[in-house]
Structure 1
Amino acid sequence: MRNCARRGRGARLGDTAIAAVTVLALGCAVWLLGSGAVTHAPPQPAAAEGRPDPAGERLTAHALAPSVPTRIRIPAIRVNAPLMGLALTPSGSLDVPPARIKNLAGWYESGTMPGETGTAIVAGHVDNAEGPAVFYDLGALKREARIEVDRMDGSVAVFSVDTVKVYAANNFPDEKVYGAAHRPELRVITCGGGYSKASGYLGNVVVFAHLTASR
């Protein structure tokens, strides 16, 4: 399968350095290109969703104690998926969930846990050879949409979407996406930005969110 990867200068998540080739092998448009489904490509973020709304960012909940995340729910796009831990590959890239399992996402387990102060990373496939996967509709999210992350301690971290953006693989803003944060933040990443027969998806859809509640 073709990779949806981006190349950059490298970035840091927590105390772990990420090599220049980091993400993502998160879908390759094999289904789209091979099945004649190109007219049903995954939605891409509207320009308006990429402009931050300062009023929507004023409410920030207190950071939670560390706890391993177990499930992510995004009601607006009908996502309800278990989370697995993701490590780095020998080349320094972020590993990805098995493509054969459509409804599965992963979190970077050497970085920030969702709900802690800092930038937590969740990634998942947009499709596989059989059809749409867990984050196929991620680009359709709107600002202020709710993202819920279940945690092993029984708590739920509730995030509010600040912006939804698409970045070309050759212009991926490492520091903006992966950089440290002074409050609990979340990034949800999948492939997007159009695709080609030669290389698959050309970039990544990135959702920026911050913690607004817990229960």
Structure 2
Amino acid sequence: MRLLLVRHGQTYSNLGRNLDTAEPGADLTPLGERQARALPAALAGQGIDAVYVSNLVRTQQTAAPLARALGLTPHVRPGLREISAGELEMADDLPSVRLYVETMLRWAGGDLDARLPGGESGAATLRRFDDVVEEAVASSDVAVLVSHGAMIRAWAGARCEDVTVELAADNPLSNTGAVLLTGTPSRWLLERWHAEALGGELLDDPAHDGPAGEPAPVTAASGSPDPASTTAGTARRG
């Protein structure tokens, strides 16, 4: 089984650096739409037989060109939605962003009781994502799950045995960046951590990727190892 975990395209809330996690969320920007339109070519030949999206409109808009090209109907699953910001919803200040990213990385490192004010626990958040993954595994061979930056980083760090906290901290996902995994729900292995937009560097806008697409201001990691060495050469940017 292969899982392609793809972050949504750029949104207007990304431009404002807002912690936008509630339904329905912001729409894609013109750049985000171009990023979405690049996905069919970027993922051609992957053998994709299922596409899943969250209940936030940005994932549905991102997946639409890919689903059309493949002749598939996306499955909308709330379990793929972004990590709730709770009382920090729509905040754009550095302390709020720092707390949000720190909490996500604590979950990636196994501290599942940590939670944001008014937000979900790590255990509950990862469990809802697990449920969608298990559904995809049961019904497909290669599934694309279009989700959100913090959610993908936290889930991959917690569930993939060779994604360390350091890797998740040091390699944020740009809009339409992706984490590619192979395996089963009991053992996921990292095939590639593609930090930049899948459509190529001309579609990257790192200054406006939003809080979950930028380096964590404070991380739970000790040191900053090269991601390739962290995952035996399987993770690489680009």
**Superposition TM-score, scaled by structure 1 size:** 0.29
Q: Which structure's residues are more often strand, by fraction?
A: 1
**Superposition TM-score, scaled by structure 2 size:** 0.27
Q: Which structure's residues are more often helix, by fraction?
A: 2
